């Protein structure tokens, strides 16, 4: 039985941060005579995306952010989606703007995302924000990676000087997590599918972030005693959600560990709300 004190409760942390965001949203509204606004574009009817968008809109309402949901049919042309993005870029009541991924035509994603104003890019996917993150400049950082850092910090453990190993190098999770850990002065190793002797590397991690997308990929023999283990994975199998970490055995060795569900997942939308307030406060219009 896992010691409950080891488990990093992403839901509780998320609620705490949302409480603080509510205060900021209200202060923004008083000062600007309007609420901060988040626009979401959903193309098509992917059931998971519909749920994500619904949850984002509900979360906005809860903290006092105005939401604008735009639904386009799955046949919508790339030019029409870009047209809507440009309209929302110019809309002064919109501070944050995101296009829900995946799009029905994945080939269009890169080009459409290029059109989102970097000042409103609350997902942090635009090359300008990704580049500024790399350079260590102020930016809107990707939400899931930002949530990972908050979860690690919530343990009270020092990040500076520690060896952080990230398994995964995607543009939306692995690379930005690694850059954020570097900003926190961790010594960072990024692993991927071509990494040799993966286990030898992960066993040296003080902080291990798993963003692989493979059910229970990280086993106890890959983890150092006392490591902090953050599980980004969301893998569905037979209607059940599994992380990238074999929780039962890894939690015996870790000093802190995130569960799935209830760890990284709840933080992603919270960091989206945080980015929206940040974009509004910085002035994205
Ligand atoms: P992705 O784009 O598929 O990237 C997976 C990464 O894992 C790749 O870099 C891949 O290496 C690496 N990898 C695959 N097999 C490996 C192996 N055997 N050894 C070492 N590395 C290996 O996935 P993603 O978008 O980053 O997402 C990762 C997971 O996080 C997924 O389960 C996803 O559902 C979840 N996720 C959760 C949230 C959340 O809010 N909780 C948000 C986003 C993603 P290569 O680059 O060499 O192929």
User: Rounded CA gap, 67 and 59, in Å?
Assistant: 9
The widest CA-to-CA distance across the chain, in whole angstroms, is 57
Instruction: Kindly give the distance from the C-alpha atom of residue 99 to the centroid of ligand 1, in angstroms, as a whole number.
Output: 20
Residues labelled as active-site residues: 56, 100, 123
**Per-residue pLDDT tens digits for 221-267:** 999 999 999 999 999 999 999 999 999 999 999 999 999 999 999 99
Output the CA 211–ligand 1 centroid distance in Å.
4
Query: What span, in angstroms and rounded, lies between the C-alpha atoms of 85 and 90?
Result: 9
For residues 121 and 116, what is the distance between their CA atoms, to the nearest angstrom? 6
Question: Which residues line ligand 1 at a C-beta cut-off of 6 Å?
Answer: 144, 167-170, 172-174, 191-195, 198, 211-214, 232-235, 264-265, 268
pLDDT in tens, 103-135: 999 999 999 999 999 999 999 999 999 999 999
Q: Does 203 score more than 90 pLDDT?
A: yes
Kindly report the average pLDDT of the chain as a whole number: 97
Protein residue with least CA distance to atom 47, ligand 1: 193
Residue 34 Cα to ligand 1 middle (Å): 39
Q: For residue 269, is pLDDT > 80?
A: yes
Nearest CA to ligand 1 atom 23: 213
Residue nearest to atom 30 of ligand 1 (CA): 233
- What atom of ligand 1 comes closest to residue 192's alpha carbon? 21
Q: What is the pLDDT of residues 185-196, one digit of tens each?
A: 999 999 999 999
Rounded to whole angstroms, how far apart are CA atoms 118 and 206?
34
> How far is the C-alpha of 32 from the C-alpha of 285, rounded, in Å?
13
Which residues touch 242 (CB under 8 Å, ≥6 apart)?
215, 216, 233, 235, 236, 260
**116 CA to centre of ligand 1 in angstroms:** 24
**pLDDT of the residue at 2:** 74
Tell which atom from ligand 1 comes closest to the C-alpha of 169: 9
The encoded tokens of residue 201 equal: 């590397």
> Which residue's CA is the nearest one to ligand 1's atom 48?
193
Selection from 48, 51, 176, 60 nearest residue 102 by Cα: 48
């Amino acid at each position: 039985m896992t010691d409950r004190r080891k488990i990093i409760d992403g839901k509780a942390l998320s609620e705490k941060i949302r409480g603080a965001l509510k205060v900021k949203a209200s202060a923004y509204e008083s000062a600007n005579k309007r609420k901060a606004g988040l626009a979401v574009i959903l193309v098509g009817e992917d059931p998971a995306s519909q749920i994500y968008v619904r949850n984002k809109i509900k979360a906005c309402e809860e903290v006092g952010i105005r939401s604008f949901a735009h639904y386009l049919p799955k046949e919508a042309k790339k030019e029409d989606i870009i047209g809507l993005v440009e309209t929302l870029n110019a809309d002064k009541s919109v501070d944050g703007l995101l296009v829900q991924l995946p799009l029905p035509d994945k080939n269009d994603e890169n080009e459409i995302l290029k059109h989102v104003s970097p000042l409103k890019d609350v997902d942090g996917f635009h090359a300008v924000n990704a580049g500024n993150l790399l350079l260590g400049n102020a930016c809107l950082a990707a939400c899931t990676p930002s949530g990972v850092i908050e979860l690690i910090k919530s343990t009270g453990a020092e990040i500076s000087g520690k060896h952080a190993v990230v398994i995964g190098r995607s543009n939306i999770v692995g690379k930005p997590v690694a850059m954020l850990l570097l900003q926190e002065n961790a010594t960072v190793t990024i692993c991927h599918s071509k990494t040799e002797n993966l286990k030898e590397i992960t066993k040296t991690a003080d902080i291990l972030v798993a963003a692989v997308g493979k059910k229970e990929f990280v086993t106890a023999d890959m983890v150092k005693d006392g490591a902090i283990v953050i599980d980004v994975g969301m893998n569905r199998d037979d209607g059940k959600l599994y992380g990238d970490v074999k929780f039962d055995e890894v939690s015996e060795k870790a000093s802190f560990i995130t569960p799935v569900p209830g760890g990284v997942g709840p933080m992603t939308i919270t960091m989206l709300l945080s980015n929206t307030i940040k974009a509004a406060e910085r002035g994205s219009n």
